Structure 1
Amino acid sequence: MKLYFKKIVLTSATSFIYLIVLLSSNISYSQDLSLKEAHQLMLQKNGDLKASHYEVNASKEEMKATKGLFYPKISISGTYMNLDKDISVDLNHTRDLAGGLLEISNPAETLGNWDITLQDKNFGFAFSSINWPIFAGGKIKAAYEAAEIKFELSQNHHQIKENSLTVNLINYYYSLKLAKEAENLRKKVYETVKIHYHHAEKLYENGIIPEVETLNAKVALSNAKRELLAAQKDVSLAKSAIKNLVGGSTFSSTSTSFIEPTILASLNEFQQQMLQGNEQLHFLEQNKKLAKVGVKVEKSDYYPKVALMGSHKLWKDNMPLIETNWAVGAGVTWDLFDGFQRDHKIKAAKYKVSQVKMLEKQAQLNLNTYTEKLYNEMAKQQEQYLSLNNDEKLAERLKFMRVRAFEEGTGTSLEVIDATLKQTQIILHKLNALYHYNIAYGELMVSLGKTETFLNQI
C-alpha cells in the first residue's frame, strides 16, 4: 500500500481530521493485488453492482409499501368556495297563490318574503374519513406475497450480476497473470538470444563460424524483441480491464498464483451441487412462485370485496344543509358476471406457471451440460499440464546440449535458437493450460455458489 501526501497547513483539530480523511481516501493498491482483494474492490466500487444494489433497495421499499394494504387509509379533506351569488328559491309566487286562496288582501305584507336562501355564496367544510378493505378474496395477501417474491428476485438478480462480473474478474485476473508470465518469459528469451547473438559475432570475428550463423542469430534477436513488445502490450491491456472492473483502483502487479490442476470431485457430484446452488435455477424457482401467486390474484375476482368506511365532520361554515357530524358503514362489491374474463385470465396465469416449469426443466438439463463442459475442460487442461511438465524437462536438456555443441563448433546457431524456441513454446503451452484450468475451475465454483470457497482456496 502506498500513501500519497498533499501539502496542507494544519491550523486546528478540524484540519488534522481533514488530513487523516484525505490520506485515507488516497490509499490505493499500488503494489501487489490478490484476486481476493480485487474481488472485494469490485464489490465495493463497481458501478454496475452499485446500481444493482440500489435496485434491491428500491424493491425492498416497494415490498414495505405493499404491506400498507393491510391497514386502513385515513385522510382529511376540506373545501372552501365562493359562488357568484347565493343559492336561493323564490316562492313568492306560491305565497301569492296561497294568499288568494286564503282571501288575504296583501300576502306580501301578511305572509312576508318567501324568497328563501338555501346556501350562502361563501361556504366551507372539512371532513376526516377512513376506508379499510377487510376482504378482497385473497388479493391483498397475494399482492404482498408477490412483493416479497419480487424483492427476492431483485436479490437473486443482483447475485447473478455479481457472479457474472466475478467470472469476468477471474478471467481478466488470470489473463493478466498469463500475460505477465509470458512477458517475463519473452524477456528471458530476448536476453538469451541477445547473449547468443553477441557470442556468435565473436565466433564469426575469430573465423570459427560463417557469417550466415550470425545472421540467423540477428533475425532471432529481432523476432524475440518484437514478441517481447507484444507481450508488454498484452500486460497493459489486461491491467486496464481489471482496473475498469474494480472501479478504477490502481495496482502494479498481481500476487495470486495459478492453482495447480487437480480434480477434487466427480462429475456427478459437481452436477448435483450445480442443481442445488446455481442462481439461475433459484431465479426460475422464484418466478414459478410468482406465477402461482398470479393464479391466486385472478381467482380472487370470484369473491366479493368488502370494505369498512366512515367519516367525521371537523368543521363547517355557512352549510345549513349539513347537520350530520359523523357516518359509518360497510360496502360490498361482487362482480357476478364479467363476460368470462376471469376464466380466461386464470387459464392464462396457469399457462405461465407451466411455462416457467418447462423453462426450469430445460435449465436443469442445460446446467448439467454446462457443468460437464467445465469439468471436461478442467480434466483436459490437467492432462495437458502433466504432459507438458515432462516435455519441459526434455526441452531444457535439449537446449543445454545444443548450446554446448554450438560453443564447441559442432552445432549451428539455428539449432540453438530452435531449441530455445521449443522450450519457450512448451512453457507457454504449460502456462496456457494453467490459465484455462483456473478460469474453468473459477467459473465452475462461482456457478455453484462457492465463490468464497474458491477465493479462500487460492
Structure 2
Amino acid sequence: MLVCRISLLAAGCLLLVWIGAGACSETNVLSLYDAIRTAMENNPEMLAMRSALAAQKEDMGIAGSSLLPRLTLEERAMRTNNPPSVFMMKLNQERFSSSDFAMDKLNDPGPFNDFQTLLSLDQPIFLRKAQVGFRMAKQEYAAKKEDYTRKKEEIAVKVAQAYLRILTARSYVGVALRSVDDAKEHGRVAELRYRAGLGLYSDALRAATKVTEAEQRLVRAKKELAVARRWLGFLLGTTEMVDVEETKPEFPLRDIEYYTGAASSRRDIAAMKVRRENAKNNIKLAESTYFPSLGVQGAYQLNDRGRPFGSEGDSWLVTAYLKWDLFDGAGREFEKRKAQHKAAEIEEHLRSLRQFVSFKVHEAYLAVEEARKNMELSESALATAEEGKRHVKTRFENDLSPIVDLLDVQRNLDHARANVSARQNDYYMAVINLGYESGTIMKDLRME
C-alpha cells in the first residue's frame, strides 16, 4: 500500500510533465542533414553573416566607382552690383554691347541677375589610390567569403551538438523509464515479502523511496529532452521545439594525416592569407600618394538673366589636369611605415593561427581516441552491472542478500545504462569536432 500511495503522487507529477511536453509529439522529425540544411537557410547568425557578405560585396562597387566618370548638374542664382561680376554675367548671357563700356556703367552697373546652369564631367585617367583601393576591396570580399564558409561549419557543428544532445536526452529518458520499472518491481517484491512475513518493513520503505527517486530522475530527463529540442529549434531559426530521427548518422574516422593535411587550408587560415596580401596592398595604398593623378574635365554652361535653366548664353570648357602632391608634411611616410608594421603584425597572426590549428587538430584526435576507449569501457561496465544485478537479485529472492545490496546494484546499473549512451554520443561529437578543427566537417558530413 505504501508503495502504491507514493507511486500515485509521483504519477501526478509525471502527468504535468507529459502535458508540458505534449507539444513535442507535434514537432517535425528531422535527420541531421535536414537540420543542418534548415539551419543554413534560417539560422540568425547565418542570415547576419550573409548580409555582411553582401555588404562587403558592395564595397567593391564603392571602390570601383572612384574610377568612373562623375557627372554633375548645378543651378545657381546670383544678384550683385559688383562691377567685374556684372561684366562677366553680361558676357556669359551674350548681352554685352558697346554701350556697356561707358564709364558710368562700368563703375556703377547697378544690381544684376544671373541664373547659371552648369553640367560638368570629371573622368580620372590615372588614379593610383583608387586602383589599389578597388583591388583591396575585391580581396577583402574574397576573405569574407572564407569567413562565411567557416561560419557554415560552425553552425553545422552546433546543430550536430544539439542533435546528439537530443539523442542523449532521449536515451536518458529511456534509462529513467527502465529505472522506474525496475524500482517498482523491487518495491512490489519487497512489499510482498513484508506481507508474507519474510521481509522487513524497512525494506519496503527503502524500495518505495527508490521508486520516488527514479520517478524524479525521469521528470528531470524529460525536462532535459524538452530543453534540447527547443535549443535545436533555436539553431534552426524557430521558437518551437524540433525533434530528430532516432538513427545516428555515420561519422567516418580517418588517419591523423588526413586531418593535418586538410587543416593547412582551413577556411579561417585561407581568409587570413588573403588579408595578409591585403596588408601588403595597404603598403601600396600608402605609396600611391607618391604618384600623380591624371584626368580630364568638361563643362557646358547656360546663363540667363530672368529664369532658371534659361539659355540666353551658352559656353563649354574642356580641361586636362595633372595633380602631384610633392610634399604633404611627411604624413605619407608615416602612413607607409604604419602599413608595414600592420603587415608584419598579420604575418605573425597567421603563423600563430597555423600553429594553433595544428595543436587543436592533434588535441581533437586524441579526444576521439579517449572517447572511443571510454565508450568501450562503458559498454563493458554495463555488461558487468547487468550480470551483477542478476546475481544479487537471485540472492535477494532466495533471502541470501538484503534489499540494500539489490538497490545498490540497481543504482550502478542505472548509471551504467546512462553512461553507455552518453559515451557513445561523446564519441560521435569528438569525431565531429575533429572535422571542425581540421576544416573537413562539411565533407565528412557529405554536405558539400
| TM-score, normalisation: structure 2 | 0.82
1:201 to 168, 188, 191: 191
Over 3 Å counting, the alpha-carbon distance change for 1:66 and 1:112 in structure 2 is closer
AA matched with 2:44: G
Unaligned runs of 5+ in 1: 1-27, 90-110
Q: CA 1:113–1:406 in 2, change beyond 3 Å: closer, same or farther? A: closer
| Alpha-carbon distance in 1 for matches of 2:252, 2:445 | 16
C-alpha displacement of 1:249: 5.8
For 1:119 and 1:54, the matched residues in 2 are separated by 60
Matched residue, 1:8: none
Q: Does 1:300 align with 2:288?
A: yes
For 2:313 and 2:191, locate their aligned partners in 1 and report how far apart those are by CA, in whole Å.
118
Distance in 1, Cα, partners of 2:35 & 2:102: 96
1:157-197 C-alpha deviation (Å, 9 max, x unpaired): 33333333332222222122111111110111111110110
Give the letter aligned to residue 79 of structure 1: R
Cα gap change, 1:115 to 1:337, in 2 (>3 Å): closer
Q: What amino acid maps onto 2:238 in structure 1?
A: G
Structure having the higher Rg: 1
Residue 421 of structure 1 pairs with residue 416 of structure 2: no
- Sort the Cα spacing of 1:392 and 1:424 in 2 relative to 1 into closer, same or farther, 3 A: same
Name the CA distance, whole Å, in 2 between partners of 1:249 and 1:212.
48
Change (3 A) 1:446 1:412: same
Identity %: 18
Residue 254 of structure 1: CA displacement? 1.8
CA shift, 1:252, in A, is 5.6
Structure 1 residue ranges, 4+ long, deviating more than 6 angstroms after superposition: none
Q: 1:182 to 1:428 in 2, by over 3 A?
A: same
- Please give the residue correspondences for 1:115-264 in structure 2 after superposition, counting only pairs within 5 Å: 115-116=105-106, 121-136=112-127, 138-248=128-238, 250-251=240-241, 253-258=243-248, 263-264=253-254
Q: Is the 8 A contact 1:261 1:385 kept in 2?
A: no
SS at match of 1:130: strand
Give the direction of change, closer, same or farther, for the CA distance of 1:290–1:118 in structure 2 (3 Å limit). farther
1:142 Cα deviation from its structure 2 partner = 0.7
* Cα deviation 1:79-112 (Å, max 9, x = unaligned): 233x3x65559xxxxxxxxxxxxxxxxxxxxx98
What's the CA shift for 1:65?
2.8
The whole-number CA distance in structure 1 between the counterparts of 2:411 and 2:236 is 37
2:359 alignment partner AA: T
Q: Check whether the contact 1:313–1:324 (CA below 8 A) recurs between aligned residues.
A: yes
Q: Which moved more, 1:175-184 or 1:208-217?
A: 208-217
Between stretches 158-167 and 339-348, larger displacement belongs to: 158-167
* 1:34 CA drift (Å): 1.8
User: Which amino acid in the other structure matches residue 269 of structure 1?
Assistant: Y
Equivalent of residue 301 in structure 2, options 313, 338, 351: 313
Deviation at 1:66, TM superposition (A): 2.1
Structure 2 residue 59 is matched with structure 1 residue 62: yes
CA contact (8 A) 1:306 1:333 kept: yes
Q: What secondary structure does 1:129 align onto?
A: strand
Change over 3 Å in CA distance of 1:413–1:452 after alignment to 2: same
Query: In structure 2, how many angstroms separate the alpha carbons of the residues matched to 1:383 and 1:71?
Result: 65
- The answer for the alignment partner of 2:395 in structure 1 is 405
Does the CA contact (< 8 Å) of 1:270 and 1:371 recur in 2?
yes
Aligned to 1:340: 330
Asked if structure 2 preserves the Cα contact closer than 8 Å seen for 1:153 and 1:286, the reply is: yes
Q: Verify the 8 A CA contact 2:63 2:134 in the aligned structure 1.
A: yes
How many residues in Structure 1 have an aligned counterpart in Structure 2? 402
**What displacement does 1:355 show?**
0.6
Q: Distance in 2 between matches of 1:112 and 1:345?
A: 59
Which residue in the other structure is 2:276 paired with? 288
The separation in 1 between residues aligned to 2:275 and 2:242, in whole angstroms, is 44
Aligned to 2:30: 33
Q: 1:69 to 1:390 in 2, by over 3 A?
A: same
* CA separation of 1:351 and 1:112: change in aligned 2, threshold 3 A: closer
Task: Please provide the CA RMSD for this pair.
Answer: 2.7
Q: 2:261 aligns with which of 262, 272, 281?
A: 272
Q: Relative to structure 2, which stretch is displaced further, 293-302 or 167-176?
A: 167-176
Aligned mates of 1:388, 1:124 — CA distance in 2: 92
Aligned mate of 2:349, from 356, 359, 362 = 359
The 10-residue stretch of structure 1 (401-410 or 121-130) with the greater mean CA deviation from structure 2: 401-410
State which drifts further: 284-293 or 437-446.
Answer: 437-446
Q: Confirm or deny: 8 A CA contact 1:274 1:448 kept in the other structure.
A: yes
Separation (CA, whole Å) in 2 of partners of 1:340 and 1:407: 96
Structure 1 pair 112/33, CA: closer, same or farther in 2 (3 Å)?
A: closer
User: Quick check: 2:39–2:235 contact (8 Å CA) kept in 1?
Assistant: yes
Conserved? CA contact 1:261–1:381, under 8 Å: no
Aligned residues of 2:293 and 2:322 also touching (Cα < 8 A): yes
- Tell me how far apart the structure 2 counterparts of residues 364 and 119 of structure 1 sit (CA, whole Å): 78
What is the CA-CA distance between 1:218 and the residue it aligns to?
1.8
Determine helix, strand or coil for the equivalent of 2:114: strand
Q: For residues 377-392 of structure 1, what are the structure 2 equivalents within 5 Å?
A: 377-392=367-382
Render the CA deviation track for 1:346-393: whole Å, top value 9, x for unaligned.
121111111111010011111111111111111001011122222322
Q: CA deviation at 1:435?
A: 2.3
Specify the code of the residue in structure 1 equivalent to 2:280.
K
- 1:258, 1:435 within 8 Å by CA — same for their partners in 2? no
Q: What SS does the aligned partner of 1:230 have?
A: helix
- Relative to structure 1, the CA distance from residue 410 to residue 292 in structure 2 (aligned partners, 3 Å threshold; closer, same or farther) is same
2:370 maps to a residue whose letter is: K
CA-to-aligned-CA distance 1:29-84 (integer Å, 9 cap, x gap): 82422222222222222222212211211221221232222221122222233x3x
Sort the Cα spacing of 1:155 and 1:260 in 2 relative to 1 into closer, same or farther, 3 A.
Answer: closer
Q: 1:446 to 1:314 in 2, by over 3 A?
A: farther
Q: C-alpha distance in 2, partners of 1:404/1:262?
A: 43
1:80 counterpart = 2:77: yes
Change beyond 3 A, Cα 1:228–1:162? same
Q: Which consecutive unaligned segments of at least 5 residues does structure 2 have?
A: 1-24, 85-100
Native 8 Å contact 1:125 1:315 kept in 2: yes
Instruction: State the Cα distance separating 1:227 from its structure 2 match.
Output: 1.5
Q: In structure 2, the residue corresponding to 1:115 is in which secondary structure?
A: helix
Given candidates 330, 338, 345, the residue that maps to 2:320 is: 330
In structure 1, C-alpha distance between the alignment counterparts of 2:252 and 2:141, rounded to whole Å: 39
